[in-house]
Amino acid sequence: MPPKGTAQRRLLKEYQQLTKDAPEGIVAGPVSEDNLFVWDCLLEGPEGTPYENGVFPARLVFPSDYPLSPPKLTFTPAILHPNIYANGEVCISILHPPGEDPNQYERAEERWSPVQNVEKILLSVMSMLSEPNVESGANIDACKLWRDDRKAFEEQVRSDVRKSLGL
């Protein structure tokens, strides 16, 4: 396992890069200068989706052996989405441990690898909001609603967006 300093240097570098040149709709950084392993994020809902106009807070928690292992990303509060567990934790390939998928849903190259970074993770999550993967759902109720009654799914998400904005 690499020394903690390696992970801290990598996280500091990624934070500096994001501060300099963040993708549109993404704000992220460490909760405190004393702990680079816990970040707060704000993700804007992608245009043309029911999440549009929403601003969704999330927390990224990095393991001590980052970047060898992936961080966990959790929306706080949870949002309705097929690939987000009821507790808010995001379930997408890029955040799954490296190697072969024991369930054989994902190819190894879709899963975490040390070449990934915070920006790629957050862009992948924004893409996931636009295009859920209902074949590999984390929230079965959201998957069923999305598949069986898209209109009701979208209305629920829009209602959650309005609530999150205090409207």
Which positions are annotated as active-site residues?
A: 91
Closest CA to 126 of 44, 54, 20: 44
Q: Cα dist. 55→16, 110, 149 in Å? A: 22, 27, 24
Sequence-separated contacts (24+) of 68-77 with Cβ below 8 Å: 68/1, 68/2, 68/98, 68/114, 69/97, 69/98, 69/112, 70/94, 70/95, 70/96, 70/97, 70/98, 70/112, 70/116, 70/121, 71/95, 71/118, 71/121, 73/41, 73/121, 73/125, 77/164
Token pair for residue 160?
A: 């959650």
Instruction: For the chain, give the number of residues.
Output: 167
